[in-house]
Structure 1
Amino acid sequence: MPVDPATLCVLANPGSGRASRDATAIDKAMAVFGPDVPLRRLTEGQTFADAVKVALADGFTTIVAAGGDGTVTGIAQALLGTQAHLAILPLGTFNFVSRGLGLSEDPEAAARAILAGHPHRISVGTVNDQLFLNNVSLGLYPRILSEREAMYARYGRFRVLAYWTVLATILRAQRTPSFRIETEDGTRALRTPLIFIARSAYQLERFGLSGADIISDDRFAVFVARTGTRWHLMKVAFHLARKRLVPGTDVELFSAHRMTIHTAKRRPRVAFDGEKRKMLAPLQFEILPDALSIIIPDDGDRVTP
């Protein structure tokens, strides 16, 4: 059954990737939604939780996240524990969540797919009760994000800058951090420059990583980078860019349904779905089965990645 426009409320993050570069993108989508669908932009100091709470109190049952993966994750977090649905209007830089669902990055086509779509419940991952839809990273990647934000602020949001900051951060890397990981299969102590915990099969495929079957089984796909010299890390980054990671040489892969990661730092920096935050260790990872209702496109509107 198609989505009723009367149930829709669009929440926009003005700072998201393409939305900030193309001011007409959201206007094109709103023209498809129609004049009765409200557009609400986050104001200074307002959180996604605040905006979603107001929208639900006003009677809307489908909240459209207009922005990038960070916007989607923030609104999805606010919708946990409710019966409302999440829809995605991709206006970010990478849009991994929407691309994994088969949504077009054209705003008009995406809006039409939302109206013709249907709700579907999905399982989500959490770290210290923070929802994530794509991945969580520890080690180098949170530092890479800091470098990326500085480059974006100086030069604008371009994908080539995202890849450049990976190399720049690796070149400045110093000592390799240590971790202790507890899962239902036991405990392992290790030193690694990067731990990558995935929940998106699309993102794994995009970067040439195996583990889609793990995601389908409602488990975390956990990638641990092999430790080594800067040159080794450069080779790993190069293999990743060419989608030719070598299992057992570049990374080790294991899976878990629940996981606790102990770190040397009391409040390690954690990256999730393109955002970053300092979290209190140990870090508790959990799968929440069928916890989020999301609008997915019908087969005729689905775009092949």
Structure 2
Amino acid sequence: MPAQIRVIANHKSGRNSRDRQAIEQAMEVFGPDACRIDWQPGSDLSALIDRAVADGGDLVVAAGGDGTVMATAGAMVGRDVPMAVLPLGTFNFFARGLGFSEDPEAAARQIVDGRPHDIHVGQVNGQTFLNNASLGIYPKILRERETVYRRWGRRRIAAHWSVLKTMLRFRKPLRLTLDLDGQRSEERTAMIFVARSAYQLDFFGLNGADLISDDRFAVLVARARSRRRLMALAWRLARGKAVEGQDYELLSARSLTVKTARRKATLAFDGEKRREASPFEFRMSDDPLRIILPADREPSS
């Protein structure tokens, strides 16, 4: 067990009784030498981790949802000090993919007993992502989800409702130019989804998990171009019944460039979003992320 554990938590988690209790339970497992470090999104997380490591920290734990975990991972790529995940979010795809329990005390014990393993993560225009990045209708779903969460709270049913509302407003597909490892193609689609999580693909019954294990991106291009076909796709996705070749086209690449017809587009990555100038350059990280796996977990990408 590392002697000095540093727990990175969103400063807002202290206001949430569920998250606060979860972190307190984990800290009891981590022991008296562990300490919590509050992070405010938008501030320099890399500098915060620099100080934590210089102060003797030999394991950094990201306590939060996929957004907090992604931000911490981006600051930890290339470091010798390992990172672990204490899942506190709504979906926790990355943590679940690694094999961590969603019970905070059980996850903390898995961290304490775990072992380090190096992985390469996805990056788009320099931004690290662990699960997926996408263009098209999904960033709009995230925007609607934020509105629904503010009104009804962070529940999975609220997330599903935001999908339905957004698809009912769909108007026209994107026009994209793709360059996959030097092979160029033109696409018209409601969404392009670039995946780095085999767990998330399996969760939704989508193909491509084998590409992730081969350190490639699984690139899913939705075939739906109308509101009706989008609704049908959403229904099949919800049941894990989407069909390759009918609902989506599966492509693979180690590097990918996506150019949109418009000068700017909204990019979604691990539940976050921002508007950026095209093109969008997807690459694997040159340096690895040293991640803690549960002791009984077989190493994989």
TM-score using structure 1 length: 0.93
CA shift for structure 1 position 295: 0.5
Unaligned ranges ≥5, structure 1: none
Unaligned ranges ≥5, structure 2: none
What secondary structure is seen at the aligned counterpart in 2 of 1:284?
A: strand
The CA distance in 1 between the partners of 2:132 and 2:265, in whole Å, is 16
Q: Given that residues 126 and 286 in structure 1 are in contact (C-alpha distance below 8 angstroms), is that contact kept between their aligned partners in structure 2? A: yes
Is 1:30 the equivalent of 2:27? Answer: yes
The alignment covers a number of residue pairs equal to 298
Out of 197, 200, 204, which is 2:197 matched to? 200
Give the alignment of 1:206-245 within 5 angstroms. 206-245=203-242
Identify the residue that residue 254 of structure 2 maps to in structure 1: 257
Q: Quickly say closer, same or farther: Cα 1:185–1:43, change in 2 above 3 A.
A: closer
Out of 163, 167, 170, which is 1:173 matched to? 170
RMSD: 1.9
Q: Quickly say closer, same or farther: Cα 1:172–1:292, change in 2 above 3 A.
A: same
Question: What is the identity, as a one-letter code, of the residue corresponding to 2:236?
Answer: H
Give the alignment of 1:100-249 within 5 angstroms. 100-249=97-246
CA shift for structure 1 position 56: 2.0
What secondary structure is seen at the aligned counterpart in 1 of 2:167?
A: helix
The CA distance in 2 between the partners of 1:61 and 1:280, in whole Å, is 38
CA shift for structure 1 position 55: 1.1
The CA distance in 1 between the partners of 2:272 and 2:19, in whole Å, is 22
CA shift for structure 1 position 7: 2.8
The CA distance in 2 between the partners of 1:9 and 1:264, in whole Å, is 44
Identify the residue that residue 92 of structure 2 maps to in structure 1: 95
Q: Given that residues 19 and 25 in structure 1 are in contact (C-alpha distance below 8 angstroms), is that contact kept between their aligned partners in structure 2? A: no
Q: Quickly say closer, same or farther: Cα 1:273–1:140, change in 2 above 3 A.
A: same
CA shift for structure 1 position 135: 0.3
Question: What is the identity, as a one-letter code, of the residue corresponding to 1:42?
Answer: W
Q: Given that residues 59 and 84 in structure 2 are in contact (C-alpha distance below 8 angstroms), is that contact kept between their aligned partners in structure 1? A: yes
The CA distance in 2 between the partners of 1:180 and 1:49, in whole Å, is 34
Question: What is the identity, as a one-letter code, of the residue corresponding to 2:213?
Answer: S
CA shift for structure 1 position 154: 1.1
- Between 282-291 and 177-186, the greater mean CA deviation after superposition: 282-291
Out of 264, 276, 292, which is 2:289 matched to? 292
Once the two structures are superposed, residues 66-120 of structure 1 have per-residue CA deviations (whole angstroms, 9 ceiling, x without a partner) of: 0011111100101122211111011111100110011011111111110100100
The CA distance in 1 between the partners of 2:15 and 2:106, in whole Å, is 16
Identify the residue that residue 55 of structure 1 maps to in structure 2: 52
Identify the residue that residue 40 of structure 1 maps to in structure 2: 37
Q: Given that residues 17 and 67 in structure 1 are in contact (C-alpha distance below 8 angstroms), is that contact kept between their aligned partners in structure 2? A: no
The CA distance in 1 between the partners of 2:42 and 2:267, in whole Å, is 22
Q: Given that residues 93 and 159 in structure 1 are in contact (C-alpha distance below 8 angstroms), is that contact kept between their aligned partners in structure 2? A: yes
What secondary structure is seen at the aligned counterpart in 2 of 1:244?
A: coil
CA shift for structure 1 position 49: 2.5
- Between 214-223 and 226-235, the greater mean CA deviation after superposition: 226-235
Once the two structures are superposed, residues 209-253 of structure 1 have per-residue CA deviations (whole angstroms, 9 ceiling, x without a partner) of: 011111111100000001332111000000000000011111000
What secondary structure is seen at the aligned counterpart in 2 of 1:268?
A: strand
Question: What is the identity, as a one-letter code, of the residue corresponding to 1:176?
Answer: P
TM-score using structure 2 length: 0.94
CA shift for structure 1 position 15: 3.8
What secondary structure is seen at the aligned counterpart in 1 of 2:146?
A: helix
